[in-house]
Amino acid sequence: MPPKPHRVLLDRVSGYADEAAAYMRRRRAARKPFARLYYAGGRAEDHATDSSAGGELFVAAGRLIEVAGKGS
Amino acid sequence: MPDDDIAEQISPAAAEGALAYLTEMSPDLRGAAILARDGGVLAGSGDAERWRDDAAALFEIADRAGGEPVEQVHVGTEQGEVFALRHAGLAAIAVTERFALSSLTFFDLRSILRDLAAGGDGRAGEARPDAA
C-alpha cells in the first residue's frame, strides 16, 4: 500500500531539516577564526591569524569583544 | 552636503535611538557603538572611552593593512564576532555572538548610519507611528 500523501511530505520536510542541522554542525566545527577587510569599490582582503596584520586585528577585535561583554 | 557636516549634526539622542533600534533588531548582538568621524562616541553600550579607543585601534590597523581607508571590517573569533562599518562620515561597531549572519549585520549597521546621516533617528526600516 502506498504511503499517505501527508506522510511523504512530512518525511521530506524532516529530511531537509536533518540535512540543514548536519550542515550547521559541520560549519560550526570547521569554521576557523578569520579577519576580513572590505574596501570601497568592492575589494576584499583576508588576513590569516599568523600574519602580522591578522594578529593585530585579532587583538583589537578581542578588546572590542571584552568591551561589549562589559556593556551587556 | 559633505560627510563632515553631516556627522557633526547627529544628536546623541538620535544616535541612542538608533542603537536601541539595532539592539532590538539583532538578537545576536552583545554590544555596539556609533561613532562620529573624529572617533567620539555618539552612543554606545557600556564604557564609551573603551569603545572610542578600541574602535580607533581597529580602524587604524585595518587602514594600514590594506594601504587605504577600510569600509567594512569583519573579524570572527572563538569568543565572538566584530563588525565595523564606516558610512557617511560615521562609523558603527557591533559585537555579536559567533555565527551571526554577516550580510544582515552589515545591512543593519549601514541602514542605521544612512538614516542618521539623513537626519533620521536610525529607524528607517520601522513603520513610523506618525506616518499616516
HEC-encoded secondary structure of B72-85: EEEEECCCCEEEEE
Q: What is the pLDDT of residue B33?
A: 97
Beta-carbon separation of A68 and B32 below 8 A: yes
CATH of the domain at B16: 3.30.450.30
Can you read off the three cell numbers belonging to residue A36?
Answer: 576580513
More confident residue, B119 or A38: A38
Residue B46 lies in a domain: yes
Residue B127 lies in a domain: no
Q: What is the pLDDT of residue B126?
A: 59
Using CB atoms within 10 Å of the CB of residue B74, give its burial: 0 to 12 exposed, 13 to 18 middle, 19+ buried.
buried
Residue B52 lies in a domain: yes
Report, as an integer, the average pLDDT of B6-13: 73
| A65 at interface of B, judged by CB pairs closer than 8 A | yes
Q: What is the pLDDT of residue B2?
A: 52
Question: Which residues in chain B touch residue A56, judged by CB atoms under 8 angstroms apart?
Answer: 61, 65
pLDDT tens string B72-82: 999 999 899 99
Partner residue facing B79 (CB), from A37, A39, A62: A62
B124 pLDDT above the threshold of 80: no
Beta strands A44-47 and B81-87, pairing class: unpaired
Q: What is the pLDDT of residue B36?
A: 92
Give the separation between CA A69 and CA B80, rounded to whole angstroms. Answer: 10
Residue B25 lies in a domain: yes
- Count the helix, strand and coil residues of chain A and give each as a percent rounded to the nearest 5: 65, 15, 20
Question: Which residues in chain B touch residue A68, judged by CB atoms under 8 angstroms apart?
Answer: 30-32, 45-46, 80, 95
Residue B18 lies in a domain: yes
Domain extent, residue B45, equals 3-117
In chain B, pLDDT over 70 holds for what percent of residues?
Answer: 86
- Closest alpha carbon within chain A to B80: A65
Least Cα distance to B99 among B69, B76, B115, B130 occurs for: B76
Residues 6+ apart with CB under 8 A from B53: none
| B57 at interface of A, judged by CB pairs closer than 8 A | yes
Question: Which residues in chain A touch residue B92, judged by CB atoms under 8 angstroms apart?
Answer: none
Residue B131 lies in a domain: no
Residue B75 lies in a domain: yes
How many Å is the Cα radius of gyration of chain A?
Answer: 22
Q: What is the pLDDT of residue A31?
A: 74
Residue B97 lies in a domain: yes
pLDDT tens string A16-66: 999 999 888 887 767 789 999 999 989 999 998 889 999 999 999 999 999
Can you read off the three cell numbers belonging to residue B83?
Answer: 563588525
Q: What is the pLDDT of residue B6?
A: 55
This complex has an ipTM of 0.86
Partner residue facing B54 (CB), from A36, A47, A64: A64
Report, as an integer, the average pLDDT of B16-33: 94
pLDDT-based confidence at B1, cuts 50/70/90?
very low
Give the CA-trace dihedral at B43, B102, B89, B37, to 10 degrees.
Answer: 50
Q: What is the pLDDT of residue B49?
A: 95
Counted across chains A and B, CB pairs separated by less than 8 A come out at 114
Beta-carbon separation of A69 and B72 below 8 A: no
> How far A71 CA lies from chain B's nearest CA (Å)?
4
Q: What is the pLDDT of residue A4?
A: 78
Report, as an integer, the average pLDDT of B109-130: 76
Q: What total of structural domains would you count in chain B?
A: 1
